[in-house]
């Protein structure tokens, strides 16, 4: 080290436990986090891109779900002027001041662009339910590394 000494090497099973715990906790936290998009649309504002989602990995048929919640401006007397059209690729869904949700089954490969146009304040949550659970691979690997590391340490 800095003073001329040496340090013991870290055993492989301790390193395995640390990496596995990091994979496990990080993946679970990312899976729980579903970002929302707050939109404030004015009349004639045109099309606004919300997000881009990759679907159809390895030929899977994924489901894209949109949840729409109206804001304060879209309640009471102003509710009649609020309208929202959400486009998932070439497919369109129309929402009024009450909000709602919509689902779209997609199997095309490549990025899918989600856009919105209309008038009013809305909160949109875009989520994807995958047919192939590829997001579970880091969790499975993390659990395996933690279990192997702890088992090996106890021997």
pLDDT digits (tens, 9 = 90+) for 74-90: 766 655 677 788 888 78
| Residue 16 located in a structural domain | yes
Nearest to 51 by CA among 2, 112, 117: 112
147 or 77: whose pLDDT is higher?
147
120: domain CATH number is 2.60.120
Question: How far apart are the C-alpha atoms of 68 and 66, rounded to whole Å?
Answer: 6
125, 92, 117, 77 alpha-carbon torsion, rounded to 10°: -80
Q: What is the DSSP letter of 21?
A: H
Tens of pLDDT along 49-67? 887 777 766 667 777 888 8
Residue appearing with tokens 């690997």: 141
| Residue 92 located in a structural domain | yes
20 is in which domain, residue-wise? Answer: 12-153
115 or 106: whose pLDDT is higher?
115
Q: Number of structural domains, the chain?
A: 1
| Residue 54 located in a structural domain | yes
| Residue 148 located in a structural domain | yes
**For residue 35, with 0-12 CB atoms within 10 Å meaning exposed, 13-18 middle and 19 or more buried, which class applies?**
exposed
Is the pTM higher than 0.95? The answer reads no
| Residue 90 located in a structural domain | yes
Q: What is the DSSP letter of 30?
A: H
| Residue 117 located in a structural domain | yes
| Residue 98 located in a structural domain | yes
């Amino acid at each position: 080290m800095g003073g001329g000494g040496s340090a013991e090497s870290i055993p492989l099973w301790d390193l395995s436990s640390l990496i596995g715990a990091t994979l496990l906790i990080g993946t679970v936290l990312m899976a729980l986090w579903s970002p929302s998009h707050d939109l404030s649309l004015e009349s004639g504002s045109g099309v606004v891109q919300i997000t881009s989602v990759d679907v159809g990995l390895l030929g899977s048929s994924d489901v894209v779900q949109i949840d729409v919640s109206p804001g304060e401006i879209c309640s009471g007397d102003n509710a009649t002027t609020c309208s929202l059209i959400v486009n998932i690729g070439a497919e369109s869904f129309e929402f009024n001041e009450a909000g709602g949700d919509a689902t779209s089954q997609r199997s095309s490969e490549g990025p899918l662009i989600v856009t919105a146009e209309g008038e009013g304040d809305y909160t949109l949550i875009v989520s994807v339910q995958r047919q192939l659970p590829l997001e579970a691979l880091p969790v499975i690997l993390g659990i395996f590394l933690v279990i192997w590391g702890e088992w090996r340490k106890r021997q």
